[in-house]
Structure 1
Amino acid sequence: MNSMTKNDDILVDWQSRHQDLLGVHAIKLHHRLIDTGLFSREVLGRLIERCPKNELGLESVSFEGEQHQRLYGELGAASGMEAIDAIAKGRMWMNIRRVMDWAPEYQALLTRIFDEFDARMGGFKTFKRNLGVLISSPNCRVPYHADIQGQSLWQIEGVKRIFLYPRSDVFMPSTNIEKILLRETTEDMPYRGWFDEFATVYDLHPGEMLTWPLYAPHKVENHDCLNISVTMEHWTQQIWNSYAVHYGNGVLRRTLGLQNSSTRDHGIHVYPKAASAFLWKKSGRQITGDVVSKRDFRIDAASPIGRTDIAGAQ
């Protein structure tokens, strides 16, 4: 065991070099989340039933070549355990969002984990921390996308394969990041099959976690087994600066037609762009609420595929 790790730590094999790598390179570590007792199927079944309706996301994705189509679902009258059983049958995933806001035991866990990071990083100051739970079907795939905050994925059950792509304008143009930040699109981004030639591939097993650089594009494929995973998000001052710069660039592109603006996350140019972002949001022009406005299916544990179509959904 590494000398920086105590027997009761959640992070098992942190080493001093990870302080320099976090947020800059992908890092794969081991963890003890399973030992907390908060992520068994039975406990998660009850958590699903506690979850506010607006924080429970259900999706199914079908692929045809390089194109994909998303369908969105609802829990309906299914119990939590029925929902997990249904997900084990079909090609879908459930996203239990912002768990720490309405389940205090998960807030305590989230604080404990980031206290560990803070102790190891010598003042790793974070805010707007978030914890969610993903329950997804065997062989389920998540399309090519990017996230707007610091992100990590912690595996509880099953195995995921993560394809992580270079963080460059070839794979994720700044204009696409702007569309995500301004909520003009979901996190999905245009993808070409040859991108995979440049991907770094990680298989994530129970007890392992992976974190990667900000805005690094990635896609996920489940192995042939039900998957339970935990997602954690965080912001730092540097991440906020990057957000403000990309958001401000998007506003200036849409209002003044300015092109090729700097995306550096430090320097005097951060402040006027942050002001542009603030004014854009105050104007009411940013799309608010859930980008998804319809539901195509509901959970049905009795169905061979775990769901039934909602009548009239297109």
Structure 2
Amino acid sequence: MQSIIQPLEPQQRELCGKQTIKLRHNLAGNDLFSDDSLAKLIETAAPKSLAMHTEGGHDPSNWPVVARGDAPGARVLDAARHGKLWINLVGITEWDSRFAELADQVFAEFANQVPGLDVVKHKLGVLISSPKATVHYHVDIPGQAIWQLRGRKRFMIFPASEPFLKPVELEAAVRSATYGVASYQPWYDDYAEVHDLEPGDALHWPLNGPHRIENFDELSVSLTSEHWTPDIRRTYAMNYGNGLLRRYGWTPRSRAVSGPAFWTKVGLTAAYRRSGLQNKLGYQRIPTFVVDPDGPNGVRPLA
């Protein structure tokens, strides 16, 4: 079996998870990411696993949500190729065994190359986005990497600290109260790491590093990976607990991931999630457009 990740440099192994590392992979050209395969994935994905948006301002949580309607997968790709669509096949490892096997291989290879890496959970997604489409400034919650397969894009990564990332915004994203929203100022770009990705490039960046993306003039297809380690889970619980405290009128005083206060937040987080309130109060995707390859931006308003 051909390896996916090309050998890392010694310094990359040491820096993985602490600094941004750019590596090479062998997935570009894989039949899993051909037009025919992508079209079938779009057609077979359940609505909750097919997140589609068209651009609409600088707040990704307000981007219009797009339904597939009865458009065949090939027509959805046509709309993406000629319009302004952002398509995310979410958690594909949970409903396609080929991608589950791919994820297992990717993280087994990471574990072999990165000393001490302890991944306890992982998943993959597939991103398809239009030429010159943008992904505005936002933050993701688990450990993240992007694997460029088709097309080129510019990836800009920012420090995961103030002023680039405010604790209150990170906490809201962790609780799914927003769609990863983080405040952005144009001068932030002066402090960004800028990486131009081509097919065969991959990028892994530090936890919760805000980022924004600009596609070049071609359809882009990327694989995304997310992973959880014990340390990432502890950071998640701390941010979630702090967000709950803030929501109910308390100002958090600590971002520690150990000690009595931390374990109180762990219990608070677990109780809140079990209550179902996150699902009731969290960000919801409600379609207002439907795919139409002949419409402006590849969509039309939903009747």
Q: Which band: TM-score by shorter chain?
A: over 0.9
- Secondary structure of 1:197's match? helix
- Secondary structure of 1:33's match? coil
Q: Residue 108 in 1 paired to residue 101 in 2? A: yes
The match for 2:218 is 225
The match for 1:4 is none
Superposed, 1:152-171 pairs within 5 Å as 152-171=145-164
Question: Which structure 2 segments of 5+ residues have no match?
Answer: none
Residues 162 and 202 of structure 1 are in contact (CA less than 8 Å); yes or no, is this contact kept in structure 2?
yes
Residue 43 of structure 1, CA deviation:
1.2
* Residue 294 (structure 1) aligned to one of 280, 286, 289: 286
Residue 300 of structure 1, CA deviation:
1.5
Residue 304 of structure 1, CA deviation:
5.6
Which letter maps to 2:28? I
Residue 266 of structure 1, CA deviation:
4.3
* Residue 196 (structure 1) aligned to one of 184, 189, 193: 189
Measure, in 1, the Cα distance between the counterparts of 2:270 and 2:297.
45
Superposed, 1:1-314 pairs within 5 Å as 8-63=2-57, 69-255=62-248, 257-259=250-252, 261-267=253-259, 269-288=261-280, 291-303=283-295, 305-311=297-303
- In structure 2, relative to structure 1, the CA distance for the partners of 1:42 and 1:77 (3 Å cut) is same
Name the TM-score, length of structure 2 as normaliser: 0.93
- Secondary structure of 2:98's match? helix
- Secondary structure of 2:257's match? coil
Measure, in 1, the Cα distance between the counterparts of 2:13 and 2:302.
48
Residues 166 and 182 of structure 2 are in contact (CA less than 8 Å); yes or no, is this contact kept in structure 1?
no
Percent of counterpart pairs with the same letter? 34
- In structure 2, relative to structure 1, the CA distance for the partners of 1:293 and 1:38 (3 Å cut) is closer
Residue 122 of structure 1, CA deviation:
3.5
Residues 59 and 181 of structure 2 are in contact (CA less than 8 Å); yes or no, is this contact kept in structure 1?
no
Which letter maps to 1:303? G
Residue 126 of structure 1, CA deviation:
1.1
Name the TM-score, length of structure 1 as normaliser: 0.90
- Secondary structure of 2:284's match? coil
**Which runs of 4 or more aligned residues in structure 1 lie more than 6 Å from their structure 2 counterparts after TM superposition?**
none
Residues 145 and 189 of structure 1 are in contact (CA less than 8 Å); yes or no, is this contact kept in structure 2?
yes
Residues 159 and 227 of structure 1 are in contact (CA less than 8 Å); yes or no, is this contact kept in structure 2?
yes
Measure, in 1, the Cα distance between the counterparts of 2:143 and 2:59.
27
Which letter maps to 1:273? K
Residues 183 and 288 of structure 1 are in contact (CA less than 8 Å); yes or no, is this contact kept in structure 2?
no
Measure, in 2, the Cα distance between the counterparts of 1:174 and 1:280.
20
Measure, in 2, the Cα distance between the counterparts of 1:104 and 1:74.
25
- Secondary structure of 1:305's match? helix
Measure, in 1, the Cα distance between the counterparts of 2:165 and 2:181.
11
Which letter maps to 2:101? A
- In structure 2, relative to structure 1, the CA distance for the partners of 1:18 and 1:42 (3 Å cut) is same
Measure, in 2, the Cα distance between the counterparts of 1:134 and 1:61.
15
Paired residue total: 302
Measure, in 2, the Cα distance between the counterparts of 1:220 and 1:13.
26
